[in-house]
Each structure stands twice: as structure tokens, then as C-alpha cells.
Amino acid sequence: MFENMKGDLRWLILLTLMIGTSLGMLDQTIVNLAFPKIMNDFSITLTEVSWIATAYILANAVFVPVWGKLGDTMGRKKIYILGFSIFIVGSILAAFAWNLNSMIFFRIIQAIASSANYPTAMAILTVTFRDAKERAQALGIWSASFAAASVFGPLIGGPLIDTFGWRSVFLVNLPVGIIALFMAISFVPESKSERPTANFDIWGALTLGIALSALVLVLNQGIDWGWTSNASLICYAVMLIFAYIFYRIEQNHPEPIVDPKFFAHSAFVTTLANNFVVFMGMMGCLFILPNFAQTFLGYTATQTGYLFMPMAVAMMISAPLGASFVGKVQPRYVIALSTLVASFGLFLFMGLDARSSALDIIVPIFVMASGMGFGMAQRTTIISSTVPEHEIGAASSVLSLARSVAGAFGIALFATIQKDAMENAVISLSQNTIINSMTPSVIQQVIALIYMKAQIISYHTVFFWGFVILLIGSALALTINVKETKTGKEVFED
């Protein structure tokens, strides 16, 4: 069926999946903007409202591998539509949440449904676009739309919340979701693995879910708990124990939810590692940028959102451009170059201070995003090409899972780096500061300046380590073992 599919229909399928994928990411970023209003309406604290985000991330990470396997087995279109339908229902329920507990419950429903989108969409695109170059181009455009949605979220969410209230950010999913659902039913053909699962790996899914829950939980709450607190230590222990149990189950299960054979391909492992490093660096650094813009440059939340528009533009331009090199240049060089450019973008952020202009943020963002987008299609192409077609959904779920964990890990790591760097800078600056006046107003001004300078130093420290980490990721990409044939098709060596 796919071999005879008309070109126009293939690109219409791509558009359909882009809308669906973008809606899930838009929802996640928009809801974060609504937290202050939700806190006020529910009379809850910042710590309490953070559990809305934590619960969403947990549920999303846990169910991605399950949906990927179910899509391969039961039919990717069925799972995609099922997940999308539940997501719309969850959005409506969340719009009418009456307290914190109900909101958390409805967000979990949304997260479980949303986690079906990425692995099934990527698998559908992979079997729809058979030509290697067309597939790379389609995956590049789709990946760029996924990333761009995270940028447009704040731009759309701010006016919605200010005009119609926080419940509107959930209700807006209804009309857009219905359109995307209708398009999926009308245009997306069904596909499934040629080897349907006869014995679903339920114990593997459960143990992986527990291990991931413990990992994501400690990454999101570790800063508040303390990385060596009893709660964190319990999470580490649970994660390691159940990760080991999961590994043993997958080794012996005839139809594992994550096939250990995936990791026998060096190209798969190295690409996954590069992807993890890139997303860790990007998410960790971008997490602190809005705070810098609002604290030191005096921008509003809406103005800060405008600063990130070039990021979306850069990705939408660079992703298809990077895809055009499939079959012409070895993927390792494209991925290495893209990661190197992204690292240079982070390096440019080290020039930020309280006198910086909007351009001082826009230029580094554009450079970093261009690098990110340039290698997207190459990474997804390698992941989908190193596994049998009947396991594409499961393999793409591993890629999605790695990105989610990398983002959580990057935010936790760089938030910790910033906190430690600021504390050290305050001590250092205080020890090397001489005050020649004991006037209270002068002392207060000096203290304020010390804290401001310490904060700026802490931001520079974060961007420096982000730059170093992405440099390592660039070097790592050069080790991807790819041998090109005369036909331009890549053969991935073990």
C-alpha cells in the first residue's frame, strides 16, 4: 500500500502528524505559564503546583515504550487515534478541574494519552516514506515542528491566559484536536508489525515504569529534597533495583517491550547518546534563560516569549536543510557539525550581563537552534534504520524516552550547577570586597550588587558547562559507524 501511495497524500500525512505532535508539545509549554493563576485559584504553593508538571512528566515517560510496542502490534493508526482521543477528553476534564488533586489526575490522563503520539507518528512516517532521502526530509520537518511548538507555546499561552483565564489553555485543545483527529482518520493509513505480539511484556512494562518513575521523580524534586536526602536515596535505590529487574526480564522475554538487540548496534547506541547529550545541554540551559531575561533585562513573560521566536524559525529552516544531506554526506559528519554549531551557540551566551540587549539573546538562540535542527533528521533516520521495520515504533519510543529523561536530567543538573556556582561566587566576591563606608544604605547597595554579580557569574558557569557537554556530544557523533553503499543507502555497522 505504502509503495503505491501518491506523493501528495504522503505529505498530507506528514502535515496531519505535525499538527498532532505540535498540539501535545504546545499543551505542555502553555500549561506551565498558567501555574501562577492556578496557584491563586486553588490557593496552593509553588511546591504544590510543581507536582502538576512532575506528574505529567512521570506519566509521559512511563507510557512511551508501552504505546510504541502496542502501535507496532495492534496498529499504529489505531493507537495514534486512541491516544489523541483520550488526550482531547483529558484536556476538557483538566479545564474543569476544581482542586490540585483533580488537576493532577486529569493531567496524568493527558500525559498517558500524549505519550502515544511520538512513537506512533515516527513509525507511521518511517513506513510511509520509503525513499531514504524523502524519509529524512519528512522526519526533519516533523522533528522541527515538534521543537518549534515548544517555542510558540508561550507566545500563544500568554494572551490566552490574560484574556480568557487559565482554563482556556485546555479548552483550546478541543477545536484543534478535533481537526487533527479528523485528518488522522481520513488520511493516515493503517500499518503494523509483520510479527504481531502474542505475549505482551507486561512485567517489563511495569518494572520499566517503576524505574523511570523513580528516576524522573528524583530529577524533578532532588533540588528541593537535597540530592543526598533520604527521599532521594530511596529513589536511587528503587531506580537501580527495578532497572536491573527490567534488564533481566528483557533478556529472557520472547517479545520484550525494549529489545536488548537494539543496543547491539553501535550506531543506535552512539546516536542515542549524542541525542541525550544535546537535549540535556539544550533543555538545561534554556530552562534558565527566561529567568535571566525577566530578572536582569526587565522583560515581561510575553516579551521573553518573543525572544524565542528565532529558535522556531531556525529549526524549521535547518532541519530540512540537514535532511537534504542524507545519502550525500555520512551522517556522523552532519550530526557532529550540527552539535558543534549548537555548542557554539551556548558559548555565545557567556557574554550576557545586565546591560545585554535582546539581540544578545536572539543571536545565540538562532545559532544554537540552527545546529539543533540541522542534525535532527539524521538522528531519527539512523534510529529507524538500525532496527527491523516491525520494531520501528518500539525503537522510536526509546528515542523519545531518551529525550524526555535528558531534558529532566539537564534541568536538574544545570539548576544544581547554577545554585552551587552562585553560592561560591557570593563567598568569593564577599571576601574580595572592601566597603569604605558603614552607611546602611551603602552596605545594602553593595550586598545587592554582590548578589547580582554572583547570579550573572552563575549563568556564565551554566552556559560554559553546556558548551563543554555539547562539545563532547559532537566528538561522540564522529564515532557513529556508518558505511555508505553506492546506492546512497546507509549500512549501520555493529
pLDDT digits (tens, 9 = 90+) for 206-247: 888 888 888 878 887 787 788 889 999 999 999 999 999 988
Between 139 and 458, the higher pLDDT residue: 458
Q: Are 60 and 115 in contact (CB under 8 A)?
A: yes
**Sign, CA torsion 63/289/465/221:** negative
Which residue from 101, 159, 121, 137 is spatially nearest to 25, judged by alpha carbons?
121
Lowest mean pLDDT among 203-207, 294-298, 334-338: 294-298
Contacts of 152 by beta carbon, 8 Å cutoff, 6+ apart? 26, 309, 312
pLDDT digits (tens, 9 = 90+) for 373-407: 888 878 877 877 777 766 777 777 777 778 778 87
Helix (H, G, I), strand (E, B) or coil at 226: coil
Q: Count the neighbouring beta carbons within 10 Å of the beta carbon of residue 224.
A: 11
Q: Are 459 and 422 in contact (CB under 8 A)?
A: no
The pLDDT value given to residue 367? 93
Between 308 and 421, the higher pLDDT residue: 421
Across the range 58-84, mean pLDDT stands at: 82
The pLDDT value given to residue 345? 92
Radius of gyration of the chain (CA): 23
The pLDDT value given to residue 6? 54
What gap in Å lies between CA 108 and CA 52, rounded to an integer?
9
pLDDT at 3 over 70: no
pLDDT digits (tens, 9 = 90+) for 210-220: 888 888 788 87
Across the range 467-473, mean pLDDT stands at: 91
Q: Are 65 and 85 in contact (CB under 8 A)?
A: no
* Mean pLDDT of all residues belonging to the chain: 81
For the chain, what percent of residues have pLDDT higher than 90? 15
Q: Are 481 and 492 in contact (CB under 8 A)?
A: yes
Q: Are 316 and 336 in contact (CB under 8 A)?
A: no
Q: Which three cell numbers stand for residue 5?
A: 501511495
DSSP string, 247-295: HHHHHH-SS-SS-GGGGG-HHHHHHHHHHHHHHHHHHHHHTTHHHHHHH
The pLDDT value given to residue 484? 43
Amino acid at 375: G
pLDDT digits (tens, 9 = 90+) for 28-42: 777 877 877 888 899
Please give the backbone phi and psi of residue 120, each rounded to the nearest 5 degrees, phi first: -75, -40
pLDDT at 432 over 80: no
Between 47 and 452, the higher pLDDT residue: 452
Q: Are 339 and 328 in contact (CB under 8 A)?
A: no
pLDDT at 472 over 70: yes
Strand duo 482-484 + 490-492: pairing: antiparallel
pLDDT at 486 over 50: no
pLDDT at 491 over 60: no
What gap in Å lies between CA 452 and CA 295, rounded to an integer?
10
Q: Which three cell numbers stand for residue 295?
A: 530578572
pLDDT digits (tens, 9 = 90+) for 102-160: 998 999 899 888 888 878 888 888 788 877 777 777 877 787 777 677 667 767 777 78
CA distances from 372 to 25, 264, 380, 489 (A): 17, 26, 13, 23
In the block, cell 531556525 appears at 314
Q: Which three cell numbers stand for residue 331?
A: 551522517
Q: Which three cell numbers stand for residue 310?
A: 528565532
pLDDT at 487 over 50: no
Which residue from 204, 218, 281, 207 is spatially nearest to 250, judged by alpha carbons?
204
The pLDDT value given to residue 485? 33
Q: Which three cell numbers stand for residue 481?
A: 559507524
Q: Are 331 and 480 in contact (CB under 8 A)?
A: yes
Contacts of 110 by beta carbon, 8 Å cutoff, 6+ apart? 27, 56, 87, 90, 91, 94
The pLDDT value given to residue 492? 44
In the block, cell 546591560 appears at 355
The pLDDT value given to residue 88? 92
The pLDDT value given to residue 493? 45
pLDDT digits (tens, 9 = 90+) for 249-308: 888 887 777 778 878 788 888 888 888 888 888 777 777 787 788 778 887 766 777 787
For the chain, what percent of residues have pLDDT higher than 70? 91
The pLDDT value given to residue 147? 66
Angle between helices 289-296 and 359-374 in degrees, nearest 10: 170
CA distances from 190 to 81, 127, 131 (A): 11, 10, 19
Across the range 433-445, mean pLDDT stands at: 72
Which residue from 158, 145, 141, 137 is spatially nearest to 312, judged by alpha carbons?
145
pLDDT at 409 over 50: yes
Q: Are 271 and 376 in contact (CB under 8 A)?
A: no
pLDDT at 417 over 60: yes
Confidence of residue 494 (pLDDT cuts 50, 70, 90): very low
Helix (H, G, I), strand (E, B) or coil at 100: helix
Confidence of residue 98 (pLDDT cuts 50, 70, 90): very high
What gap in Å lies between CA 127 and CA 216, rounded to an integer?
32
Contacts of 207 by beta carbon, 8 Å cutoff, 6+ apart? 242, 243, 245, 246, 249
In the block, cell 539573546 appears at 361
Which residue from 52, 36, 33, 35 is spatially nearest to 102, judged by alpha carbons?
52
What gap in Å lies between CA 135 and CA 242, rounded to an integer?
37
What gap in Å lies between CA 255 and CA 205, rounded to an integer?
12
Q: Per residue in 231-259, is it b (16+ CB within 10 Å) or e — as a string?
A: ebeebeebbeebbebbeebbeebebbbbb
**What is the longest distance spanned by two Cα atoms in the chain?**
83
